Structures are given as structure tokens and as C-alpha cells.
């Protein structure tokens, strides 16, 4: 009976360590996701700025050299 209890305690300790490692990995992934979302939002804002008139119209553009 005592060896079974010891075995359960060992398993519990391993599971606890594994759970901590998984938790740390999830926290790092969440930080990465938040950073990527912020970067994507900045890129969206830049694209909106380009689409809202910062680009030259077709009439304003110079023709390519082969014309």
C-alpha cells in the first residue's frame, strides 16, 4: 500500500511540473499572439492610409518608359 502511495505522489509531482511547463508555454504564445495582432492592426492602418488617397491617381502617374 505504501509503495502505491509513493507512486501516486511521484506521478502527481510529474504532472504538476508538466502543467507548469504547459502554462508557461501558453503564456508565451498569448504574448506572441497579442504582439502579432498589434502589428496586424498597424499594417491595416497603413493600408487604409494608402487606400485613402496617399497614392497617386492613374492620371498623375508617369507612363512607363516603353511608351
For residues 66 and 24, give the distance between their C-alpha atoms in angstroms, rounded to a whole number: 59
Coil, strand or helix at 61 = coil
* Nearby residues of 67 by Cβ (< 8 Å), 6 or more positions away: none
**For residue 54, is pLDDT > 60?**
no
Q: Please give the pLDDT value at position 32.
A: 98
Q: Phi/psi class of residue 17: alpha, beta or left (left: φ > 0; alpha: ψ in -120 to 50)?
A: alpha
- Grid coordinates in use for 31? 504574448
- Predicted TM-score (pTM) of the model is 0.61
Q: What percent of the chain clears pLDDT 70, i.e. is strictly above it?
A: 87
For residues 56 and 67, give the distance between their C-alpha atoms in angstroms, rounded to a whole number: 19
Amino acid at each position: 500500500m505504501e509503495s502505491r502511495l509513493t507512486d501516486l505522489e511521484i506521478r502527481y509531482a510529474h504532472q504538476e511540473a508538466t502543467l507548469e511547463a504547459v502554462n508557461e508555454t501558453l503564456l508565451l504564445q498569448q504574448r506572441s499572439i497579442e504582439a502579432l495582432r498589434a502589428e496586424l492592426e498597424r499594417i491595416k492602418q497603413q493600408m487604409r492610409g494608402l487606400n485613402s488617397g496617399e497614392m497617386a491617381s492613374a492620371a498623375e502617374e508617369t507612363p512607363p518608359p516603353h511608351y
